[in-house]
């Protein structure tokens, strides 16, 4: 028999089930990797291990739907602290091309540690950068990191096939041929994808964005994904520059481009979707296409505010994503939910996002986006992925009238006390239990410094220069180059 664990006397348990039940004086029983029962009062069965949930809130583990973990190596680079997406990318490509498999591992481990510490139990990652020299098996190293630290992982095999010589944005030497990309996609699917319920590793496929992939790759990727019954992911409608690029290159809007390539449906989730018009929002809902909403990144890059309330009104599934650490600079899922709750108060004429809605997006919305029905809620049979937060901390003093909302309204600097993935406690009392955090940080810093130094040497870009804050870098316009 698998080991059993019981958390009892829980002050409040937010199930995030279809009825959105909130249970007071609750318990949750866990057997091995799955939830056995959830209820109130005295639990019906004993357990081998018992945790006292007095003064605690328990919520489902958060699901991160969009990240570029390797960007942990390029947080807050001075030259692009005030740059919009295109100049930001053009500068960072120079550093990212120096990435090595060891750096991928270190950055993934550190980013995953940040995610666990902020209550995330399942993360996706979109790694699309495979420099022509030495980039073999990057995603294998990310899977190694996820297994080491104990987070549920859904890496997305990203890709770029349209370099500068084909009219794309990135330099040619960090792009790959369509054949090489598709071959590696198939290899990863065959090697790692686990379709079984409660799987710890699932693979998705994700050409990067309209301005760096070829039409043929988009079509072939979604065809391959449907052959293997896995989800597909890409960036869409992030900036007005992208819109302009699509008009010039494809003579249509980004959304039309994607639709024409067969890229709408329940097995697709799209990052950002800021610049969508009403018919496009309508079509997103009709096709069941999901969104990875990244409010912090959208603010950081000045990309705009996604029409989240209007998307929700049209039944578009919305999950949350921290996005890469060069456009968020941290991987804090609860902070992302708070950002979502607050940001949309600036949208004129729409109902504000509540704390519960933001947490719903961070749990059920994220699970739906990743195509999973076994995570995102605390119900019998689902994965034992949960987060425990002590409500008797300073930050929550006086906030007991609504303990669930308190977590976003009064976000504590150290909000999570325990993170459980697959029935295993992987983060507790401020530490990831399966790694040496100091070593992970030192390794990450070592690789980050080496990449920056190599880029400085080769590109001559003043990457360490402090930006002139009096002159914000205006959004990049292709016609000006
Ligand atoms: Zn992204």
For residues 147 and 56, state if they share a domain.
no
Among 315, 340, 369, give the residue marking a domain's end. 369
Taking the centre of ligand 1 as the mean of its atom positions, its distance from the CA of residue 384, in whole angstroms, is 28
Q: Can you say how many angstroms the Cα of residue 26 is from the centroid of all Cα atoms in its chain? A: 30
Residue 143 Cα to ligand 1 middle (Å): 19
Using a CB cutoff of 8 Å and minimum separation of 24, what contacts does 242-248 make?
242/85, 242/209, 242/210, 242/211, 242/275, 243/275, 244/477, 244/478, 245/169, 245/210, 245/211, 245/478, 246/210, 246/211, 248/478
Hey, what are 191's tokens? 């090697």
**Are residues 77 and 45 both part of a single domain?**
no
Same domain, 141 and 239: yes
What pLDDT sits at residue 463? 63
Write phi, then psi, for 319 (nearest 5 degrees). -110, 170
Identify the pLDDT of residue 459: 76
For residue 247, being part of any structural domain is answered with yes
Query: Does residue 408 lie in a domain region?
Result: yes
The last residue of one of the domains, among 369, 392, 422, is: 369
The rounded Å distance from CA 399 to ligand 1 centre is: 35
The answer to whether position 25 is within a domain reads yes
Residue 454, in any domain of the structure: no
Structural contact between residues 233 and 205, judged by C-beta atoms closer than 8 angstroms: yes
155 and 237 in a single domain? The answer is yes
Tokens read off for 181: 């990309």
The answer as to whether 288 is a domain residue is: yes
CA distances from 124 to 39, 260, 352, 453 (A): 30, 26, 27, 29
Spans in the chain with pLDDT lower than 70: 133-135, 461-481
Measure 347 CA to ligand 1 centroid, in angstroms: 23
Distance between Cα 194 and ligand 1 center (Å): 24
Residue at 443 is within a domain: no
Task: Indicate whether 365 and 299 sit together in one domain.
Answer: yes
Supply the CATH number for residue 29's domain.
2.30.40.10
- Do 274 and 318 sit in the same domain of this protein? yes
Q: How many structural domains does the chain have?
A: 2
105: CA distance to ligand 1 center in Å?
19
| Distance between Cα 154 and ligand 1 center (Å) | 15
Q: How far is the CA of 322 from the centre of ligand 1 (A)?
A: 9
The model's pLDDT over 300-343, given as tens digits with 9 standing for 90+, comes to 999 999 999 999 999 999 999 999 999 999 999 999 999 999 99
| Same domain assignment for residues 144 and 31 | no
CA 6 to ligand 1 center in whole angstroms: 38
Residues 311 and 338 in one domain: yes
Rounded to the nearest angstrom, the distance between the alpha carbon of 68 and the centre of ligand 1 is 6
Same domain, 223 and 302: yes
Per-residue pLDDT of 396-440, as tens digits, reads 999 999 999 999 999 987 779 999 999 999 999 999 999 999 999
Kindly state whether residue 36 falls inside one of the protein's structural domains. Answer: yes
* Residue 44 confidence (pLDDT): 86
pTM of this prediction? 0.96
Q: How far is the CA of 377 from the centre of ligand 1 (A)?
A: 26
Q: Of 246, 332, 267, 257, nearest to 297 (Cα)?
A: 332
| Of the residues 341, 369, 397, the one at which a domain ends | 369
327 near 300, Cβ under 8 Å?
Answer: yes
pLDDT tens across 56-66, in order?
999 999 999 99
Query: Ligand 1 centre from 74 Cα, in Å?
Result: 14
The pLDDT of residue 477 = 40
- Ligand 1 center to residue 195 CA distance, Å? 25
CA of 1 to the centre of ligand 1 (A): 42
Cα 181 to middle of ligand 1, angstroms: 19
Question: Which CATH number is 347's domain given?
Answer: 3.20.20.140
Q: What's the pLDDT at 136?
A: 72
* Cα 323 to middle of ligand 1, angstroms: 5
pLDDT value of residue 470: 47
Rounded to the nearest whole angstrom, what is the distance from the C-alpha of residue 324 to the centroid of ligand 1?
Answer: 6
How far away, in angstroms, is 326 Cα from ligand 1 center?
Answer: 10
Residues 179 and 326 grouped into a single domain: yes
Range of the domain at 144: 62-369
Residue 375 inside a domain? The answer is no
Q: Are residues 225 and 271 in the same domain?
A: yes
Q: Whole-angstrom Cα distance, residue 112 to residue 107?
A: 8
Centre of ligand 1 from the C-alpha of residue 2, in Å? 39
CA atoms within 13 A on the CB side of 326: 24
Tokens at 325, concatenated: 């650490």
């Amino acid at each position: 028999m698998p080991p059993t664990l019981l958390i009892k006397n829980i002050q409040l348990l937010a199930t995030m089930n279809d009825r959105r039940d909130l249970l007071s004086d609750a318990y949750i029983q866990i057997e091995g990797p799955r939830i056995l029962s959830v209820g109130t009062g005295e639990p019906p069965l004993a357990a081998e291990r018992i945790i006292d949930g007095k003064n605690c809130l328990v919520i489902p583990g958060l699901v991160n739907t969009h990240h570029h973990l390797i960007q942990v190596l390029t947080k807050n680079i001075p030259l692009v602290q005030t740059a919009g997406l295109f100049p930001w990318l053009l500068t960072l490509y120079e550093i990212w091309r120096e990435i090595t498999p060891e750096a991928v591992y270190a950055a993934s481990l550190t980013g995953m540690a940040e995610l666990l510490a902020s209550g995330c139990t399942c993360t996706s990652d979109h790694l699309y950068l495979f420099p022509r020299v030495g980039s073999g098996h990057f995603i294998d190293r990310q899977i190694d990191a996820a297994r080491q630290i104990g987070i549920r992982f859904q890496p997305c095999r990203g890709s770029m096939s349209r370099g500068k010589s084909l009219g794309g944005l990135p330099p040619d030497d960090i792009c790959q041929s369509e054949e090489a990309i598709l071959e590696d996609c198939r290899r990863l699917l065959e090697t790692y994808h686990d379709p079984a319920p409660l799987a710890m590793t699932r693979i998705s496929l994700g050409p990067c964005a309209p301005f760096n992939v070829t039409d043929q790759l988009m079509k072939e990727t979604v065809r391959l994904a449907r052959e293997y019954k896995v989800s597909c992911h890409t960036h869409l409608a992030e900036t007005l520059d992208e819109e302009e690029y699509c008009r010039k290159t494809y003579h249509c809007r980004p959304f039309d481009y994607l639709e024409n390539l067969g890229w709408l449906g329940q097995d697709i989730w799209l990052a950002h979707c800021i610049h969508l018009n009403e018919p496009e929002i309508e079509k997103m809902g009709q096709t069941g296409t999901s969104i990875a909403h990244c409010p912090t990144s959208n603010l950081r890059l000045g990309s705009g505010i996604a029409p989240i309330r209007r998307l929700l009104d049209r039944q578009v599934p919305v999950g949350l994503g921290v996005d890469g650490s060069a456009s968020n600079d941290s991987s804090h899922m609860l902070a992302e939910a708070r950002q979502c709750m607050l940001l949309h108060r600036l949208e004129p004429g729409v109902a504000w996002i509540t704390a519960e809605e933001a947490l719903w997006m961070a749990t059920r919305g994220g699970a739906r986006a990743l195509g999973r029905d076994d995570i995102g809620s605390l119900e019998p049979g689902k994965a034992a992925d949960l987060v425990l937060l002590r409500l008797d901390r300073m930050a929550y003093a006086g906030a007991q009238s609504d303990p669930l909302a308190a977590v976003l309204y009064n976000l504590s600097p150290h909000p999570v006390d325990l993170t459980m993935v697959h029935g295993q406690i992987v983060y507790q009392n401020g530490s990831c239990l399966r790694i040496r955090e100091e070593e992970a940080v030192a390794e990450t810093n070592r690789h980050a410094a080496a990449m920056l130094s190599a880029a400085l040497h080769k590109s001559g870009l003043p990457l360490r220069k402090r930006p002139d804050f009096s002159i914000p870098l205006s959004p990049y316009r292709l016609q000006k180059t």
